[in-house]
Amino acid sequence: MDGSKAPPRWLPFLVLGVGLLAISCGAILARFAQAYGLPSLTIATLRLGLAALLITPLALWQSGHTLRALTRQQGLLTVGAGFFLALHFATWITSLEYTSVASSTALVTTNLLWIGIASFVLFGDRPSRLMAVGIAISITGSGLIFWSDSRDSAPGSNPLLGNFLAVVGSWCFSAYLLIGRRLRASLPLPAYVWLAYGSAAIFLLLACQASGTPLTGYSNAAYVVALGLAIGPQLLGHSAYNWSLKHVSATFIAVVTLGEPVGSALLAWMFFGEAFALLQGTGFVLLLVGIYLAARGEGG
């Protein structure tokens, strides 16, 4: 699309809707991959590795000169971004083995809260009053989810462990975003995506080798689901969000991402019969409301 001509007003909203639907399918596809016998580490490796391979021709065609001229600082930032992105997917996908899709996706999408806290602790950026209220409400909601899963019969073999892994996944993704924002400022989108996904895939490959986790020997259906993860949530979903950043505010996109746990929870109810406990649902709502208020506070 011609970057000098503004797209129709409705197009960014349509693109965001498609991206949201694609990303909401991520947890469901990961669950199906686990059901086909793929270990969580293998799923994460295939998701990022296949995505990096698929975008390689575009990255080399559009940004080959930029990639060849990478500085030492950009290289180090790429390694850092890839490490945290790899750790994000390894912990989050593993969390789906132990807790419900609703709890996992609700907790892993709390990035805005942790980035706000980290900006205050590390850089002294004082949050607005609305953001502080949003953070407090979201942390309360997260606590209710943990409490509900500890006392109710939540889906999963170890909900508390799964919830903790989802939160760790959110911390890692927050670190990835903080590093990626700096890297993205000097790199075009195809080059940035290729470097981030490719370096993360290398870290995951090393983890598979160290742990003895195989990447081969699974059914064709398992690899089809892994390919779906790479094309849908990874490339289509995240690319839709990145493209829309040029046409709508980052705050609006942050609010749109609140639909991911809602969409994932509905799909989990349809495919896996996962329902909410009352306390879990209350925490879920508080978490979303808090993130919404924090996003509004950031925009203010």
Q: What's the token pair of residue 295?
A: 């996003």
Condensed to tens digits (0 to 9), the pLDDT of residues 12-57 reads 888 888 998 999 999 999 999 999 999 999 999 999 999 999 999 9
d(CA 124, CA 297): 17
Residue 150's pLDDT is what? 65
pLDDT of residue 243: 79
pLDDT digits (tens, 9 = 90+) for 122-140: 777 777 888 788 878 888 8
Which of 62-66, 113-117, 272-276 has the highest mean predicted lDDT (pLDDT)? 62-66
Q: Which residues of 67-88 are buried (b: 16+ CB within 10 A; e: fewer)?
A: beeeeeebeebbebbbbbbbbb
User: Where do we find the tokens 């502080």?
Assistant: 132
C-alpha angle 141-146-147 in degrees, rounded to nearest 5: 95
Residue 40 · residue 90 · CB < 8 Å: yes
pLDDT digits (tens, 9 = 90+) for 71-101: 988 889 999 999 999 999 999 999 999 988 8
Q: Which of 229, 237, 263, 267 is nearest to 34 (CA)?
A: 229
**Whether pLDDT at 300 is above 70:** no
Of all residues in the chain, what percent carry a pLDDT higher than 70? 93
Token representation of residue 254: 């942050």
